Structure 1
């Protein structure tokens, strides 16, 4: 459950840094670049943009819409264990729109902080609860403000429907798409993506430390990146949270072709039952 803000920042900082004793770390308000615990009645549009229907990548099977059906705040029991949360939700909506000669049967939510909150170096973290179902593709990630992949991509958490693991990755010039800078993290026994977890990255001029619940799961140094191509991580980035369905990465993992690319009938049934939702407790950026 959320606590008063001063204590919350201490708790978040301890989770992210992996420090186990509070006396070893005292958070400073000046270290916080951005924080949102989604305690309002709706998404704060001063902090976030919502993606509309003029966007499609990676052969994903949904179209994003700016709607209270796909991006909304909840409280109490609907927040599933916390006081309040943001929900990104997918819906089955046959023939919702034809875009670029493709008929979309699903809608979902995607938000970002572009031009509202941009940061260079620091720690970005989010506490999230993900749905069970093959072919779901939620992610928490960061992009540069220019052309992709020239201005870099930091994938802090990607999940494609196998509940025992998540992936992290970097993309840039010479190491985009099937990037060699990628790692899977398998949860300890008794844990999986449907539990609340903190996903974070520490970003410095020298490299990245990716963490889950404060545990270091992957370290990438600048020389490792430059072995494959130009370092693309000295420029401002913005955060993205989204729930995609099917498409390239899920298909690569599950091999499902029907009824939708990367999205099996069992997951379509879950979407129809209203179970396709990502919950976000909070998002934090510190320097």
Structure 2
């Protein structure tokens, strides 16, 4: 499943020259960051783990740093939500689920290039796994690039960007509907090619959506000339799934059928690898 490559993590090894690596998306490109998840646990030199204080978008989970929510097994990162009413330490939230969220903030970020990951989704309405990039400033002033968002409709995966005056209900959002014989529960490579004047989104090498700087400037300032870091998370329910599926019971955006799947341990997001390449 894996391709052996050599890694020099930008920002971790000062002065280290990252080698050219064959097998890059468009010929030989410099590899800035990679995690192939070939160990037995999450590499904490590359990733931070979010804790339960983080809460946005009326999501129905608390993020916990536990081996049953964030695991590395058989060369794959596995983020798994658990149904645990009463575990959430935030009394005002009382989330019925716990789950996992990791990021590279303070350990790796980049400006321009290609970020990609090979990911497999669960078949469960109302889940909200995502692979995305976020700037270091207050949201959304330094931009957000959502490379892949999934709300449990296996026929499509979403992409979006957010910035000043085009955040939240952004006009820059797209759905890619998989062709016959494919869906989000199979392995797919999700990528964003980010340059100084556009962001292009790809699934399995197919260009699915393009947002240009002039398009964005019709709404607000182009917020993508600064470093962004990588996030992978598994949210449950909340604003986006709830808006799409209209479900309010038993939990916002999450139907009873998905609750039962989570209870049985059938719901997880699997990530084979994450790679970030320098611009061409």
Q: Which of 100-109 and 212-221 deviates more? A: 100-109
What is the match of residue 4 of structure 1? Answer: 4
SS of equivalent to 2:107: coil
2: CA distance, partners of 1:201 / 1:136: 22
Q: CA deviation at 1:276?
A: 1.6
CA deviation string 1:215-271 (max 9, x = no partner): 000011100011110010001000000000000000001000000000000000000
What is the match of residue 191 of structure 1? Answer: 182
| Selected match of 2:201 from 207, 210, 224 | 210
1:128 has 2:119 as partner? yes
Q: CA deviation at 1:98?
A: 4.1
SS of equivalent to 1:94: coil
| Selected match of 2:232 from 220, 230, 241 | 241
What is the match of residue 53 of structure 2? Answer: 54
Is contact 2:52-2:89 (8 Å) kept? no
CA deviation string 1:48-94 (max 9, x = no partner): 0001111110000000001111111001xxxxxxxx10001100111
Q: Which runs of 5+ in 2 are unaligned?
A: 7-20
2: CA distance, partners of 1:72 / 1:10: 29
Q: CA deviation at 1:183?
A: 0.7
2: CA distance, partners of 1:226 / 1:104: 38
2: CA distance, partners of 1:125 / 1:3: 14
1:138 has 2:137 as partner? no
SS of equivalent to 2:275: strand
SS of equivalent to 1:97: coil
Superposed, 1:28-107 pairs within 5 Å as 28=29, 31-75=30-74, 84-99=75-90, 101-107=92-98
SS of equivalent to 1:267: helix
2: CA distance, partners of 1:59 / 1:100: 14
SS of equivalent to 2:216: helix
Is contact 2:88-2:98 (8 Å) kept? no
| Selected match of 2:251 from 256, 260, 273 | 260
What is the match of residue 20 of structure 1? Answer: none
- Aligned residue pairs total 264
Q: CA deviation at 1:10?
A: 4.0
What is the match of residue 275 of structure 1? Answer: 266
Higher helix share: 1
Q: CA deviation at 1:3?
A: 3.6
2: CA distance, partners of 1:127 / 1:230: 31
Q: CA RMSD in A?
A: 1.1
TM, length-normalised to structure 2: 0.92
1: CA distance, partners of 2:250 / 2:38: 38
Q: CA deviation at 1:4?
A: 3.2
What is the match of residue 9 of structure 2? Answer: none
Q: Structure 1 runs of 4+ off > 3 angstroms?
A: none
TM, length-normalised to structure 1: 0.90
What is the match of residue 215 of structure 2? Answer: 224
Q: CA deviation at 1:45?
A: 0.4
2: CA distance, partners of 1:143 / 1:3: 27
